[in-house]
Amino acid sequence: MNVKSKQNDGFKNVLPYIVLMLVIVVVLFTLNMQGMKVNKLSTGELISELKENNVSEITVTPKSDESVFYIEGRLEGYKSSEKFTAKAVGTEMENILSLINKNAVKKYDTNADPGGSVFIYVLINVLPLVLIVIAMYFLFSKLANSNKNSMDFGRSKARLSNDNDKKSFKDVAGLNEEKQEVEELIDFLKNPKKFEKLGARIPKGVLLVGPPGTGKTLLAKAIAGEANVPFFFISGSDFVELFVGVGASRVRDMFKEAKRNAPCLIFIDEIDAVGRQRGTGLGGGHDEREQTLNQLLTEMDGFGENEGIIIIAATNRPDVLDPALLRPGRFDRQVTVSLPDANERESILKVHAKNKILGKDVNLKNLSLRTPGFSGADLENLLNEAALLAVRRNKSSVSMDEIDEATDRVLMGPAKTSRKISDKEKKLVSIHEAGHAVIGLKLEDAQEVHKITIIPRGMAGGYTMMLPKEEKIAVLTKNELLAQITGLLGGRVSEEMFLKEISTGASDDLKRATRIARSMVTEYGMSELGPVQYEEKSEGVFLGRDYNSKSKNFSDQVALEIDQQTRKIIEDCYDKAKKIIKDNEKLIMQLSDALMEYETITKEQIESIVKTGKIKLVEEIEDDSEEAPSKSKKEKKQEGK
């Protein structure tokens, strides 16, 4: 049905042009006929021309209802656009026919009576008029449709979700606390009288705040699905147009439509596109966006407390929103949708792994522990990339090899296996990455080393994957920050000590180390300057705000002290890295040799090098993992005895 409707729509779109072409052909034909020069001859003049043998072409057309003959033709010397016409009756026609036969006119023809053919009569007289009428009809209908569309310019672009797109809390893995926060919204939409009885006011608006990809849109759909109410969804950018006032008109129309379908739920995605603070920026405000925001604020105040309309908005930039939008009575509840922890990541992986064939070696729980900081969208992309790699390799299932490769692709980009690397560059990268790894292995508060590779990916010649030993929410201690800086400087120190030269490969490490050290001094109060915050994060949302925030909040003397303290932290960590790497020179060389030979070594292989000085092959690691369960069973039997 959809294919046929699309074909019909295509035919309807092309038909006006076909009709217009036919009209143009008819008009051109008529003009061409009008451009023909016609000379009218009397019967006597025609007979004289025939006697003088001046007629080169003649056509006779009889009229059935009268004894009249219409004659047309050409005389010698006529141009191609010139002809003569004449009319003869009875005996006159007999004389003309005898002269035609006598002088043997070059081209002589006789036509049937056009009045006897209804088709020819319609074709000549009626069809041009019909085509003109049809063309005018289509042109006027197109004009009417364009006027109708122009009248719909201010209509809301909010779309009503269909039943096939319904979601429930079963489709939302993790987010347990967030679900509890919105449970009463669902209860209100199902049974509003229970709240009215106790005089409770349900929030008019709920703001979902969190990093990109954490499931804010999915959670809003699940709320509507659980409450089984109409779900209108729109993006904040759909309100803003070139012409001032259009966005405000769309806001009015959206709320008008929502009141007709109450109880219902309106979801505004990326509300920061329309809800930014008013009057900001060097160039002043944005009239269209500000009028749209004013109308949104007015409409939210306009409907009653328990009319059954709840607005849910999502953003990852709550700091740029207008304060009037966040006051009680509008978006008076904020729900933070944070990145998932290990248990939630395992649940998310199970949801996205339902339609994929995973190998026996894939353990989703272990994978969740190896992906801290991944959002739900990142995890979905990870499994999808792994499935694409399995298809590319013609495998029947997704194994851990594809998932490891997909993890590297998501974090760093595809491996540049075809790139030729000289032995000198390869040795430099292996020494550099071994320096990072040794700091992670020997420093107490450093992160745990999971993988080292010297295969180039993205802009990096190699990398060391280091993950936290214990997953934390957002709090880091001073020792942990210093350990991060020391680990970042380990690569540069290793180059300097063992190759007697330094490279540009540490540029990103130095940038990150300097950023952490300066934040420790200016934001976290972790220096000799004391617990004072000299700077705060500013991401330059508006040019005006960013411009004003550049003014100094401290004197030049304090600025010098900040630079000195930052340098002191870096130098102390650099000295600590030197000492650790010098004490573990043998381990550096063992890791470097293993990287030169195998290019990539895993956590188990790194532990083997640390303990025995030798690297375990992948087959040996798999054999050990298979033997481990049998040993544990024997130990259990012995314990039971």
Measured distance CA(348)–CA(374) in Å, rounded: 11
- What are the structure tokens assigned to 585, written together? 């020179």
In three-state secondary structure terms, 395 is coil
In three-state secondary structure terms, 474 is coil
Measured distance CA(6)–CA(15) in Å, rounded: 14
| 433 catalytically annotated | yes
Measured distance CA(251)–CA(293) in Å, rounded: 9
Say which DSSP state 56 is in. E
Note whether 528 and 521 are within 8 A (CB): no
Burial of 430 (0-12, 13-18, 19+ CB in 10 A): buried
- Per DSSP bridges, beta strands 600-602 and 159-160 are unpaired
Note whether 60 and 68 are within 8 A (CB): no
Residue pointed to by tokens 């194994």: 399
The distance of Cα 622 from the centroid of its chain, to the nearest Å, equals 41
In three-state secondary structure terms, 202 is coil
Edge-to-edge strand list for the sheet holding 37-40 = 37-40, 82-89, 68-75, 55-63, 107-110
Contacts of 226 (CB under 8 A, 6+ apart): 168, 169, 186
H helix runs in 174-269, sequence order: 176-190, 192-197, 216-227, 246-260
In three-state secondary structure terms, 195 is helix
The H or E element spanning position 276 is none
AA letter at 353: A
Q: Nearest-CA neighbor of 54 among 109, 98, 1, 103? A: 103
In three-state secondary structure terms, 50 is helix
- Burial track 304-316 (b if 16+ CB lie within 10 A, e otherwise): eebbbbbbbbbbe
Catalytic pick from 288, 299, 433, 496? 433
Note whether 186 and 227 are within 8 A (CB): yes
Please identify every residue annotated as catalytic. 433
